[in-house]
Amino acid sequence: MTDHSHTLSRRHAMALAGAVLLAPGLAAAQGNDALPSWRDGPRKRALLDFVGAVTQEGGADFVQPNARIAVFDNDGTLWVEQPAYTQLVFILDRIRALAPGNPDWQQDPVFRAALAGDLHAIAAGGMEGLIRLIGAAQAGTSPDDFRGVVAEWLASARDPKWGRPYTALVYQPMLEVLAFLRARGFATFIVTGGGVEFVRTISQDAYGIPPHQVVGTTFSLKPGEADGRITLTREPHVDFVDDGPGKPVGISRQIGARPIAAFGNSDGDYQMLRYTTEGPGRRFGMIVHHDDADREYAYDRDSDIGRLARAMDEAPQRGWQLASMKNDWARIFP
């Protein structure tokens, strides 16, 4: 890992320590309320009731600690995804940096759109076009080197709306859910459609989730040897797309067990929510609904990014909680 990665880790650790030292009132509140940034209401009660039921030893719904698995989408569930996925912003910067060495990109509509920063044209290219951009942005690097590039970018990049680092735009209510579940014996995993190495760069510092507990889209790795050492080099070919119907596959491959709780925000999480809640015993599914244009963004059915329609329509019959960012969250960011 590069020095930039270590700097990023130290910066996050210092920020978190400072928040605790400067906010003793918050610590006291958390002592009485595990979810202080959630307003009292049916969504908060449903989550508390579920966790209470599955952790009550001797209860009808008790789940052994080794089976307490919760999975979380990343973009739009744990941090901001509008007006563009953070990873996409990184990819566009990376493509522009690499463009002088790749003049043939000017002949490709997807790469021309990327170089022009045309998000609508990129979205029109669908997942296939996005995967090509992601592959080109990281091809030829080792996993370690790529994580160093990501860490360096995150250390200086700022969101244009808030002027803050992207790693500061995580959702405080969801951080509390993660901490609450782990305190009750849950293992928490990220299951993302994004590139797995990108998310692994931030997962520990941002969410307290170690890199090996991140499931995501993967690209081919070419094994080799250089200077007497084994090497791995990224190729621009996708191995596996961990989105939509791919999410249950990724969960089964990497986690090896069906979760009992799932959290998402879009139709890309529909199959993950179903796979989780269709299992036997007590289950929990929650959708974060972005309906707060004043404090964040409001979008669902008509959005190119984070589209939410089918999952929202079926939430009542499937017993999924639809958490309103506007009504259920007392605050958005840390």
Distance separating alpha carbons of residues 302 and 139, to the nearest angstrom: 33
Q: Which tens digits make up the pLDDT trace of 204-245? A: 999 999 999 999 999 899 999 999 999 999 888 889 989 999
Residue pair 74/199 in contact by the 8 Å Cβ criterion: yes
DSSP 3-state of 227: coil
Please name the fold of domain 3-11+34-83+166-328: Rossmann fold (3.40.50)
Distance separating alpha carbons of residues 192 and 267, to the nearest angstrom: 13
What is the Cα gyration radius of the chain? 20
Strands 229-240 and 187-195: unpaired
Read off the DSSP letter of residue 162. T
Is pLDDT above 60 for 24? no
Binned at pLDDT 50, 70 and 90, residue 31 comes out as: low
> pTM here?
0.88
Q: What percent of the chain has pLDDT over 70?
A: 91
Q: Which tens digits make up the pLDDT trace of 243-277? A: 999 999 999 999 999 999 999 999 999 999 999 99
Q: Which tens digits make up the pLDDT trace of 169-196? A: 999 999 999 999 999 999 999 999 999 9
Residue pair 83/64 in contact by the 8 Å Cβ criterion: no
DSSP 3-state of 39: coil
